[in-house]
Amino acid sequence: MKSNDFVSWIGSVVGGVFTATQTNQIFQIVSLIATILSTSVALAYTIWKWWRKAKEDGKISEEEIDNLMDDVHQIVNKDKKEGEDKDE
């Protein structure tokens, strides 16, 4: 066995061990990205639905804006609550 092969093999083993010990962090990052994407999609869909409905009469009233803000707050608060439940 050449010394280069041995060093390469040791490097692969050490890299594999470090990767295996960091899987919890990787799952946390994946979970965070999934949460951000799902919240973004939910917000975009809510705003799109609101815009289609508000556009029907050709003008946007304060009441329609208040309805949109209520819907957005519900989505954000729901995601906050789910995030807090996961931490427990």
Q: Is the pLDDT of residue 4 over 80?
A: no
From residue 88, alpha-carbon distances to 13, 22, 50 in Å are 35, 21, 34
Tell me: the pLDDT tens digits for 28-82? 887 888 888 888 888 888 888 888 887 887 777 788 888 888 888 887 777 666 6
Q: Which amino acid is at 74?
A: Q
Closest CA relative to residue 79, chosen from 47, 40, 23: 40
pLDDT at residue 6, rounded to an integer: 65
Name the strand (E) or helix (H) holding 57. Answer: none
Closest CA relative to residue 38, chosen from 71, 69, 70, 82: 82
pLDDT at residue 81, rounded to an integer: 64
